[in-house]
Amino acid sequence: MTTVSLTVNGQSVTSDVDPRTLLVQFLRENLRLTGTHVGCDTSQCGACIVHLNGQAVKACTVLAVQAHASAITTIEGIAQGGELHPMQAAFREHHGLQCGYCTPGMIMSAIDIVSRKGNALDEQTIRAELEGNLCRCTGYHNIVKAIAAGAQAMAQAPLQQAAE
């Protein structure tokens, strides 16, 4: 067993883990943060995306020990004070989800796209940037709309952005 210490959604966590434990297993099984999902085992689907020190990573491809001393944000950690993050609100408003399984990864990926590409995102940019996220329900049409709207809303919500 190896000891890992990290911050998850702003809270310090120290835990003993089997060294082969994946970050996604650590989050889901040790911390019971089950909002981060596993949809494949080849880093293709993106259902497991979380932020590691502010950058999107696929938690199925990161060992828990690699996240030692880092700050992790999961889907459970982006709403502030009972208010949805603007990207969460945009997914809801624009029907950017159906079964909800890919949604946490989509939202975490979308926030990461905004942090890299800015708040004015055109359709082609969003579609290209979603290369690492699969959705089987929506045909992406409303996800693209949601991300464009969420990106704009994030520009108007600096407080939430800072919290993220």
71 touches other proteins by CB under 8 A = no
141 touches other proteins by CB under 8 A = yes
Q: How far is the CB of 29 from other proteins (least distance, A)?
A: 8
CA distance 148 to 15: 38
Q: Which two tokens stand for residue 18?
A: 């089997």
Three-state DSSP at 84 gives coil
Count of residues touching other proteins (by CB under 8 A) = 55
The CA-based angle 32-37-38, given to 5 degrees, is 120
Q: Which two tokens stand for residue 133?
A: 């996220």
Strand partners, 63: 22
Compute how many other C-beta atoms are within 10 angstroms of the C-beta atom of residue 161: 18
Contact segment (CB under 8 A) with other proteins among 61-69, 94-102, 111-119, 152-160 equals 94-102
Beta 71-73 vs 2-8: how paired, if at all?
parallel
163 touches other proteins by CB under 8 A = no
Q: How far is the CB of 156 from other proteins (least distance, A)?
A: 19
Contact segment (CB under 8 A) with other proteins among 42-50, 64-72, 113-121, 151-159 equals 42-50
Contacts with other proteins by CB under 8 A lie at: 18, 20, 28-29, 33-42, 44-45, 47, 74-76, 79, 84, 88-89, 91-93, 95, 97-104, 107, 123, 126-128, 130-131, 133-144
